[in-house]
């Protein structure tokens, strides 16, 4: 028995070695040469968040997986305001330009993420030379310059923008961000107006986590209706979907998909992942401010994922994709938040330094068993 185990391990190491030699040929193959993007062709786009190392080809195995299985990409970090305009007026488009060029060269639908977000925004954005909050007019002007420079720079190339990210709390109240506190709730409509002026043909989205929560669902519906009443263009709603094996319930997620579909906008699952690790908090959130101290018992699968947990992950992904397929008429894109477990933000959130398994491809960039199942589910759906 032990010898068979060793033999299997040796074979899988050989496979990884072969993949390293010839990345384009083997990593992303599900075993039958089928791909996720083909299986979901005509249903919705199959997207993935990518980072700079993948675009540059430093992470060549991840790049192969992207090219083989996905037809849409979103920037994990390189288009956030702190990256694009670290100092006032000093725009740096080098990584973002490469990201967009990679998308164009590989015929991928390119989404920009994100124009207005309280996190990863540079300090200067909100403060004057003495470190005090700027006035409403100044912040509006800075927001306008940022949005219009960025959207204008990528006009015609970025097909959709997350214009505003995470502006509403789970209970439906407005997040007390600097944008809200200094400008007021109309910072949202102003952001959409500015983006539209810079590229009228680009799709414009509102994006948030925990969209399954009733309070947030109702507030987002109200906010979108308000924009629609005023004739402000909003094309879609992004539901991030940072999930666990049990959260959110399919029923809650479905209630939000249905509520958003009724608005007549596109619905997108934008940042899908499924954590298999224990949550040190009772509450599930993707709020980057949450963090807990590392403890061994919070990191139960440091070496490998046991079969039972792997099976649970497969089942959970299948339940979610079956839900998405039921609403394929209004869901335009389902995107996972990263290529392989190795690079997932979940390894460091909400506890730094754990080993999580939230994505579709493992640490060797090989498809997990769930990939084949998802391909079958896509093919079976008429
Ligand atoms: O770029 C710096 C690098 O210079 C430095 O050496 C390194 C040291 O830690 O940090 C690098 O920045 C990190 C950045 O990712 C790029 O790797 C930040 O520390 C780290 O905080 C940042 O995390 C990102 C997080 O957003 C920040 O808010 C995650 O990668 C990214 O996956 C995550 O994505 C967000 C979505 O944008 C919005 N929805 C929630 C989602 C998960 O938090």
**CATH code for the domain of 270:** 3.20.20.80
Pocket test residue of 95, 240, 340, 345 for ligand 1, highest count of atoms within 8 A of CB: 345
Residue 288's pLDDT band (boundaries 50, 70, 90)?
A: confident
For range 327-347, the mean pLDDT: 98
d(CA 18, CA 158): 35
Tens-digit pLDDT profile for residues 168-207: 999 999 999 999 999 999 999 999 999 999 999 999 999 9
Name 23's Cβ contacts closer than 8 Å, sequence gap at least 6: 60, 61, 63, 64
From ligand 1's centre to the CA of 167, what distance in Å?
A: 18
Structural domain contains residue 286:
yes
Pocket test residue of 77, 115, 356 for ligand 1, highest count of atoms within 8 A of CB: 77
Active site residue 185: no
Dihedral sign, Cα of residue 349, residue 350, residue 351, residue 356? negative
From ligand 1's centre to the CA of 76, what distance in Å?
A: 8
Name 141's Cβ contacts closer than 8 Å, sequence gap at least 6: none
The rounded percent of the chain whose pLDDT value lies above 70 is 92
Residue 16's pLDDT band (boundaries 50, 70, 90)?
A: very low
Structural domain contains residue 13:
no
**Could you tell me if 190 and 197 are in contact, meaning their C-beta atoms sit under 8 angstroms apart?**
no
Catalytic residue among 166, 169, 203, 253: 166
d(CA 107, CA 104): 5
For range 226-245, the mean pLDDT: 98
Residue 15's pLDDT band (boundaries 50, 70, 90)?
A: very low
pLDDT score for 21: 42
Q: Which single residue is written with the structure tokens 């994100």?
A: 114
Whether the ω angle into residue 114 lies within 30 degrees of 0, i.e. cis, is yes
Structural domain contains residue 189:
yes
99-118: b or e for each residue (b if 16 or more CB lie within 10 Å)? bbebbeeeebbbbbbbbbbb
From ligand 1's centre to the CA of 147, what distance in Å?
A: 21
d(CA 345, CA 335): 15
Active site residue 254: no
For range 208-233, the mean pLDDT: 98
Tens-digit pLDDT profile for residues 100-116: 999 999 999 999 999 99
d(CA 202, CA 49): 19
Nearest by Cα to 284 from 355, 349, 217 = 349
Residue 339's pLDDT band (boundaries 50, 70, 90)?
A: very high
Structural domain contains residue 8:
no
Residue 282's pLDDT band (boundaries 50, 70, 90)?
A: confident
Residue 211 lies in domain: 28-380
Structural domain contains residue 109:
yes
Which ligand 1 atom is the nearest neighbour of the CA of 165? Answer: 38
pLDDT score for 30: 58
Residue 359 backbone dihedrals phi, psi, to 5 degrees: -110, -175
From ligand 1's centre to the CA of 192, what distance in Å?
A: 25
For range 68-81, the mean pLDDT: 98
Tens-digit pLDDT profile for residues 115-149: 999 998 999 999 999 999 999 999 999 999 999 99
pLDDT score for 18: 45
For range 45-61, the mean pLDDT: 98
Structural domain contains residue 201:
yes
Overall domain count for the chain: 1
Residue 91's pLDDT band (boundaries 50, 70, 90)?
A: very high
d(CA 291, CA 300): 18
For range 57-81, the mean pLDDT: 98
Tens-digit pLDDT profile for residues 260-275: 999 999 999 999 999 9
Residue 285's pLDDT band (boundaries 50, 70, 90)?
A: confident
For range 219-237, the mean pLDDT: 98
d(CA 193, CA 102): 28
From ligand 1's centre to the CA of 77, what distance in Å?
A: 6
For range 319-347, the mean pLDDT: 98
Average pLDDT, rounded, for the chain: 93
pLDDT score for 287: 85
Q: Which residues line ligand 1 (CB under 6 A)?
A: 76-77, 119-120, 165, 209, 240, 271, 286, 288, 345
Structural domain contains residue 9:
no
Q: Is 81 exposed, middle or buried (0-12, 13-18, 19+ CB in 10 A)?
A: buried
Residue 283's pLDDT band (boundaries 50, 70, 90)?
A: confident
d(CA 48, CA 109): 10
- Given a cut of 90, whether residue 2 has pLDDT beyond it is no
Q: Pick the residue with more confidence: 14 or 348?
A: 348
Please count the CA atoms within 13 angstroms of the CA of 45 that sit on its side-chain side: 23
Catalytic residue among 76, 203, 253, 271: 271
- Given a cut of 60, whether residue 296 has pLDDT beyond it is yes
């Amino acid at each position: 028995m032990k010898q068979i185990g060793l033999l299997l391990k040796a074979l899988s190491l050989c496979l990884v070695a072969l993949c390293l030699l010839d990345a384009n040929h083997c990593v992303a193959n599900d075993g039958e040469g089928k791909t996720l993007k083909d299986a979901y062709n005509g249903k919705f786009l199959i997207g993935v968040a990518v980072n700079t190392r993948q675009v540059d080809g430093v992470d060549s195995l991840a790049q192969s997986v992207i090219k083989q299985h996905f037809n849409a990409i979103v920037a994990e970090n390189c288009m956030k305001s702190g990256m694009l305009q670290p100092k006032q007026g000093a725009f740096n488009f080098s990584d973002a330009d490469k990201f967009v060029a990679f998308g164009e060269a590989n015929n991928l639908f390119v989404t920009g993420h994100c124009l207005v977000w309280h996190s990863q925004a540079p300090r200067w954005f909100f403060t004057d030379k003495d470190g005090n909050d700027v006035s409403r007019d100044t912040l509006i002007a800075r927001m306008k310059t940022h949005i219009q420079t960025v959207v204008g720079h990528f006009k015609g190339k970025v097909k959709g923008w997350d214009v505003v990210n995470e502006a509403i709390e789970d209970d439906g109240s407005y997040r007390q961000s600097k944008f809200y506190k200094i400008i007021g709730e109309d910072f949202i409509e102003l952001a959409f107006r500015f983006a539209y002026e810079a590229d009228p043909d680009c799709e414009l989205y509102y994006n948030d986590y925990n969209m399954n929560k009733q309070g947030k669902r109702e507030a987002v519906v109200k906010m979108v209706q308000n924009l629609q009443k005023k004739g402000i263009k909003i094309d879609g709603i992004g539901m991030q979907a940072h999930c666990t094996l049990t959260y959110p319930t399919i029923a809650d997620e479905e209630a939000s998909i249905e509520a958003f579909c009724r608005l007549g906008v596109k619905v997108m699952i934008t940042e899908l992942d499924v954590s298999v690790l224990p949550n040190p908090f009772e509450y599930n959130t993707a709020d980057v401010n949450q963090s807990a101290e590392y403890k061994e018992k919070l990191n139960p699968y440091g070496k490998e994922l046991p079969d039972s947990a792997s099976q649970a992950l497969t089942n959970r992904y299948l339940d979610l994709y079956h839900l998405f397929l039921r609403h394929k008429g209004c869901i335009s894109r389902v995107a996972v938040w990263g290529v392989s477990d190795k690079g997932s933000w979940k390894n460091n959130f909400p506890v730094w330094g754990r080993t999580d398994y939230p994505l579709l491809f493992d640490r060797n960039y090989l498809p997990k068993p769930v990939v084949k199942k998802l391909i079958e589910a896509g093919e079976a759906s008429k």
